[in-house]
Structure 1
């Protein structure tokens, strides 16, 4: 029965913080960290948890965030390595691959390392499947938007061609009207009795005799 009642020292707080941060980095739980510190300091796990949440945790907020980021990076690296090996199709047996991953640097396999590896695989595989699904959805959306963009580009080119044809017809009409005005003016000059005159807007109007 753990009945220790003395006050927490600075060294006790440091041990508690370092142990919790280590467990966070490795993807373990804080409860396991409290158990480990409790065994080391002859305190209950509940007492360690209360000390962490009430006093120590506020002093290590930045370190906690850093530990969480490191845990995510480890999971991401593990997931990338796992799927890379699956794509390459190595002939190495699954048991051998799992052994090397669990031991890291080639050390002895422990029950804790195997359990930790299984937990990490269980956490990373669903995340990777979700990322793959999101990637497919984004590709489908990109292809759809690209098709719409090409369609709009085709319509724009067609409109430009139609506008160019209308502009040509308009210029031809203006040219015909200008020639007609000049001919009418020449006829008036020759007859000395102009039948038409040009108003202020440049339009021809017939004169009454």
Structure 2
């Protein structure tokens, strides 16, 4: 019988709500209906998974410290969003001990590059393109699915979706011929990955662990 395996980022703890493993704080940061801040929400969740942001949910509720610093830098970009290169610059400028790496792989290989980054312990922000409308938005890769050791799906936290309940993700990018499908509770659409930024620990990169 074919073996289906899901691999989740080790910083996450599945349960009734998806939480950070070390603090048991909720990790899902939800995007509002009016904003274009999906990449910023993903960055907050990624930094929390790396232990660099205590609270990725209530970022406006702090008057000082790293969370307040994140919000001070994030809010000017909140309505117009960020491209992959702009997100990489944003993470660098935070000076939070994390190194953004924009993945330069060809479009048809980006999903495998995301899988390799996740295997090394680095969360990845991906830009999903709707092939029907050409619209793009960001989601966070938190796991992968393999079928007989072949990558078949990226497991994602989509800030624009509902909080996952008794689940590790609220969206999936499934690879099926002739195209990939982006699947949420609301439905599915033909889609692909149109850019990705891995967020790594700067200390690990300095020592050469897990960095190119």
TM-score normalised by length of structure 1: 0.20
Q: Which has the higher strand share?
A: 2
Larger radius of gyration: 1
Using CA pairs below 8 Å that are at least 6 residues apart, which structure has the higher relative contact order? 2
